[in-house]
Structure 1
Amino acid sequence: MEPSDLRRAVEAGRVTASELGLQVDDVVVIHDSDRVALRLLPCDVLARVAPSGDRADAAFEVEVARRLARVGAPVAELDPRVEPRVHVRDGFAVSFWTYYEPVGPGIAPADYADALMRHHAALRRIDPTDLAAPHFTDRVAGALRVVNDRERSPELAESDRRLLSTTLGELGAAIGADTAGDQLLHGEPHQDNLLHTGRGPLFIDLATCCRGPVEFDLAHAPEDVARHYAGADHELVHRCRAVDWAMFSAWRWRRDDQLPDRDHWRVAGLDLVRAALDRCGRG
C-alpha cells in the first residue's frame, strides 16, 4: 500500500481490535501489498486488512476458513476471541486470525505434499454447492482481460502481450475443458501461503479457493512436491504451471499493481512463463 494508506490500514486494524476487547499496545506489519497482515501485541492476533472494495473476498475467506476448521483441514484458524466475520472501518475490511510463530528452516517436499493431500481431502468433505467458489478458468479469464486491455496494462510489450494472451487463452481453455477430476482447491498453495508452525504445516490466504484439478494447486508448489503427491498427472502439472505463471505475470503488468519489487517480477515472471512452456513442449 501507499504509505498514507498503510498508516490508515494499521490504525483501522488497531482500533477495530481494541473495540472488540483485544489489548493492542503495538502493531507489527508482517506483510504489505494490496492488503496487509498485522501482528497485534500483546493480544497476539493477526489482523488482515484490505480495502473495503475487497470486502466480498475477505468474507469469502472467512467462510472458507470456518468450514475447513470444522473438517480438520491444515489451515490457519480465525481468532476464537472475536466473532468470525469481516469488520469494516475507515474504508478497510478487517478480519482477525490466530497468529502462529514460525518454526524450523523450511518444509520438506514430502511434508508439503502430505499437507496438500490432507487439505484436498478436507476440501472434498465440503459440499461445493454450498460454497460459491469460482472455477480456476474464471481466474484465468480475469488475467486475460488485463492482458487484452492496453489501458490496464499499458507498459506490456506487444510480443509479451501475445505470449501471455496465447498461454492464458489457449492453454488455459485446454486444461479447463476436462472437468472430470475437478474439486475444491486452495487456489494458490505456494510457499508463502504455507506456514511452518508448531502444529505442523498450515495453509493461509484462503480467499483464492476455487474449483479445478489438484494439479492446478500442485503447479504453485515447489517442483519436488508433485513427486510426493500420489496419483498426480505430472504432464498436467507442467501445463498448469505455465498458466499459473502467465496469470502471475498478468497481475504484475497491471498499471495499479502494488506487489513489492514489482519491476523485478515483471521480467522474471515472463521468463518463468517461457521456461514452463518449454518444459511442457509448447515453447
Structure 2
Amino acid sequence: MEPSELRRAVEAGWVTASEVGLQVNDVVVIHNSDRVALRLVPCDVLARVAPSGHLADSEFEVQVAHHLADVDAPVAELDPRAGPRVHVRDAFAISLWTYYEPVGSEIAPADYADALMRHHAALRQIDLDAPHFTDRVAVALREVNNREQSPELPDSDRELLSDTLSGLSAAISIDKAGDQLLHGEPHPGNLLNTRKGPLFVDLATCCRGPIEFDLAHAPEEVGRHYAGADHDLIQRCRALNWAMFSAWRWRRNDQMPDRNHWRAEGLNQVRAALDRCGLG
C-alpha cells in the first residue's frame, strides 16, 4: 500500500481491535503489499487488513480458519477474543488473528512435509465450498490474454504464459479422482515456525485439486518426504505455479515490491520448470 493508504489501514486495524476490547498501544507493520499484516501490542494480535474490494476473500479465509479450528489443523488461529468475523471500517476489511512469535530455526523438509500432510488430512475432514485450482488458472489466463491488463508483457512471453497456463491446467485436471481441499499456496512464506510447531497462514487461497499442486509451492526436498506423492506431477504443477506467479507480476496494477526483478525471474523459472518436465 502507498504511505497514505497504509496509515489509514493501520488506523482501521487499531480502532477495530480497540472496539472489541483489546488493548492497543502500538502497531508494528509486519507485511505490506496489496494487503497488510499488523502486530498489535500489547494485546499480541495480528490484524490482517485488506481493501474492502477483498472483503469476500477475507470472509472466505475466516470461514476456512473457523472450520479448521475444530479438526486440529496446523494453522494459525483467529483470536478467540475477537471471534470469527471480518470487520469493515474506512473501506478496509479487517480480521483479527493470534500472533505467534517466530522461532529462528529453519523448518526441516521432513517437518515441512509432516505439517502439510497433517494439514491435508484436516482439510479432508471439513466440508467447504471452495473453487477448483483451474478457476484460479483461468483468472491468470485472462490477465495474460488481455493486453489492457498486461500492456508491458512482450508478445513472445505472452504466448509462453498463455500456452503454459492453458495446456498444463487442462493436462493436470484430466483426472479429478484424487482431488481434495488444499491450502492453495503453502510456500515457505506461508508457513510459520512457532513454539507450537509449523503453522500455515494465508488461508484465503484454499482450493480443490491434487495434493501435488500444494507440494509444488514447497521446496523440492519437501516432496521427497511426502508419502505417495507423484513427483512428475509436482514438476508440472511447479511450472504451472510459476506461470501464474508471472501472470500476476505483469498485471498493470501489481504492487509486489521489486516487481521488475520478479517479472524476469518468474519467466526464467517458467522456462526452467518446463525444461525439467521435458516440455521446454
**When the two structures are superposed, what TM-score results if normalisation uses the length of structure 2?**
0.99
Instruction: Give the total of aligned pairs.
Output: 280
Q: For 2:39 and 2:104, locate their aligned partners in 1 and report how far apart those are by CA, in whole Å.
A: 20
The residue that corresponds to 1:37 in the other structure is: 37
Q: For 1:233 and 1:84, locate their aligned partners in 2 and report how far apart those are by CA, in whole Å.
A: 36
The residue that corresponds to 1:94 in the other structure is: 94
Q: For 1:277 and 1:142, locate their aligned partners in 2 and report how far apart those are by CA, in whole Å.
A: 21
Q: For 1:19 and 1:282, locate their aligned partners in 2 and report how far apart those are by CA, in whole Å.
A: 55
Q: For 2:20 and 2:256, locate their aligned partners in 1 and report how far apart those are by CA, in whole Å.
A: 31
Look up the SS of the partner of 1:138 in the other structure. Answer: helix
CA RMSD of aligned residues (A): 0.6
1:270 deviates by 0.4
Alignment of 1:212 with 2:209, yes or no, is yes
The residue that corresponds to 1:8 in the other structure is: 8
Give the residue type in structure 2 aligned to 1:255. Answer: R
Q: For 2:75 and 2:109, locate their aligned partners in 1 and report how far apart those are by CA, in whole Å.
A: 18
Alignment of 1:246 with 2:243, yes or no, is yes
Query: Which residue of 180, 185, 189 maps to 2:186?
Result: 189
Q: List per-residue Cα deviations over 1:226-256 (Å, max 9, x = no partner).
A: 0000000000000000000000000010000
Alignment of 1:225 with 2:211, yes or no, is no
1:172 deviates by 1.1
Give the residue type in structure 1 aligned to 2:163. Answer: T
- Unpaired stretches in structure 2, ≥5 consecutive residues: none
Q: For 1:165 and 1:105, locate their aligned partners in 2 and report how far apart those are by CA, in whole Å.
A: 39
Q: For 1:25 and 1:215, locate their aligned partners in 2 and report how far apart those are by CA, in whole Å.
A: 44
Give the residue type in structure 2 aligned to 1:9. Answer: A
Q: For 1:134 and 1:99, locate their aligned partners in 2 and report how far apart those are by CA, in whole Å.
A: 28
| Aligned ranges 1:106-185 → 2 under 5 Å | 106-127=106-127, 131-185=128-182
Q: For 2:143 and 2:175, locate their aligned partners in 1 and report how far apart those are by CA, in whole Å.
A: 25
| Aligned ranges 1:239-278 → 2 under 5 Å | 239-278=236-275
Q: For 1:236 and 1:23, locate their aligned partners in 2 and report how far apart those are by CA, in whole Å.
A: 48
Q: For 2:202 and 2:149, locate their aligned partners in 1 and report how far apart those are by CA, in whole Å.
A: 25
Q: For 2:276 and 2:27, locate their aligned partners in 1 and report how far apart those are by CA, in whole Å.
A: 44
Q: For 2:67 and 2:237, locate their aligned partners in 1 and report how far apart those are by CA, in whole Å.
A: 27
Q: For 2:249 and 2:20, locate their aligned partners in 1 and report how far apart those are by CA, in whole Å.
A: 36
Look up the SS of the partner of 1:29 in the other structure. Answer: strand
Q: List per-residue Cα deviations over 1:56-75 (Å, max 9, x = no partner).
A: 10000000001111000000
Quote the sequence identity (%).
79
1:76 deviates by 0.2
Give the residue type in structure 1 aligned to 2:190. Answer: N
Q: For 2:2 and 2:151, locate their aligned partners in 1 and report how far apart those are by CA, in whole Å.
A: 21
**When the two structures are superposed, what TM-score results if normalisation uses the length of structure 1?**
0.98
